[in-house]
Amino acid sequence: MQKKVAQEALELTRECLMQYWQLNPELVLSYCDEDVLWTGTLQKQFIVGREATAEDLRGTMRDLKPCHLMEQDFFVVQNSGNVCTVAGRYLVTTDERVEFFLQVQQRCTFVWEQRDGKLKICHMHISNPLGELKTVGDEMFPSTMGRMAHKYLMRRFSTLTDKTKLMAADLEDREHIFLLSEILYVEAGGRISIIAFLSGAKIPVRMTLTEFQEKADERFAAVHRSYVINTECISRIKKYEVVLIDGTRIPIPVKKYRETREMLLERLQ
Q: What is the DSSP string of 12-64?
A: HHHHHHHHHTTT-THHHHHHEEEEEEEE-SSTT-EEESHHHHHHHHHHHTTT-
The predicted-structure confidence for 57-96, as pLDDT tens digits, reads as follows 998 888 788 888 888 889 999 999 999 999 999 888 888 7
Count of Cβ atoms closer than 10 Å to residue 66 Cβ:
13
Minimum mean pLDDT range among 85-94, 111-120, 154-163, 230-239: 154-163
CATH class of 162-268: mainly beta
The predicted-structure confidence for 90-142, as pLDDT tens digits, reads as follows 888 888 777 666 677 789 999 999 998 899 999 999 886 443 333 334 444 44
d(CA 156, CA 98): 15
The predicted-structure confidence for 18-31, as pLDDT tens digits, reads as follows 999 999 999 999 99
pLDDT at 143 over 50: no
pTM: 0.57
The per-residue pLDDT of the chain, averaged, comes to 84
d(CA 170, CA 49): 51
Residue 63 pLDDT: 76
pLDDT at 183 over 80: yes
pLDDT at 166 over 80: yes
**Nearest Cα to Cα of residue 154 among 101, 105, 219:** 101
**Nearest Cα to Cα of residue 42 among 127, 159, 153:** 127
Residue 141 pLDDT: 44
The answer to whether the CB of 196 falls within 8 A of the CB of 185 is: yes
State the distance between the two ends of the chain, measured CA to CA, in whole angstroms. 44
Angle at 221 between CA 217 and CA 225, to 5 degrees: 130
Over range 5-32, report the average pLDDT: 95
The answer to whether the CB of 184 falls within 8 A of the CB of 196 is: yes
E strand or H helix at 264: helix 257-268
Residue 134 pLDDT: 38
CATH class of 3-148: alpha beta
Query: Can you give the residue ranges of every domain in the chain?
Result: 3-148, 162-268
